[in-house]
Amino acid sequence: MIFGMWDSTLFHLGSIPVDHLIVTEWVLIAFIGLIAMSATKNMQMVPRGLQNGFEAMIIWTYDFFTQLMDEEHVAKKWAPLLTTFFLFILVSNYSGIIPGAAHIAGFQPPTSNWNVTMTLALITFFSIHVAGFSEHGGHYLHHFVSPSWAMLPLNLVEEVAHPLSLTVRLFGNIFGEETVVAYLLFMAPFLVPSAMMGLGLLLGAIQAIVFTILSASYIAAAAGAGH
């Protein structure tokens, strides 16, 4: 039965049914939303429980993005989006760590599908230019031809490379990890995969942090004084 279960998992890798993917995404979004609502339902002057945890996270991310992005007002404006990125990617990555309902039902972490990672990357791509125009107006366009018009093709390639690298990096790491764990579970259901899934906890957090930091750095660069 175990071998049959994981054989089914292998079949679904790389070709997640769209309805399963959508359901998984919305379940994770609802989970994050419910936790956030519970944490903010009865706000207290002296925070405790979930409220205390969420306030600590908000303070930490705000301070972190302020240091990373230099401009405090830019960090304050974009911290909510970047924090949402981190939470969604982290929960998505972790949704595939524990073998069980997700794999048995044929679900996979949404971040192991390039459609999801590409969507997140495109949000970053448009946010970069929104930040650039909001901070510099029409002058932001000058960076496309900096230091000269001859650099326009290379600068455009660089702009396209940002979302492409974000898409491929997150998808490749999560999909690769899921593939390895699935094959190990098929061959040795109890021993090696446990160590891999333990490592997956660390890698899942690292990938969420990397995606968020890169997005923040791209937005900071567009909003920076250099433009």
Global pTM reads 0.81
From first CA to last CA, the distance across the chain in angstroms is 60
Range of the domain at 177: 2-223
pLDDT (average), residues 77-88: 92
pLDDT tens digit sequence for 90-101: 999 888 775 544
pLDDT band at 105 (very low <50, low <70, confident <90, very high): very low
pLDDT at 102 over 60: no
What are 11-48's pLDDT values in tens digits?
A: 344 445 556 677 788 888 898 889 888 888 887 777 77
Q: Quick one: pLDDT at residue 104?
A: 44
What is the number of structural domains in the chain? 1
pLDDT in tens, 201-214: 888 899 999 999 99
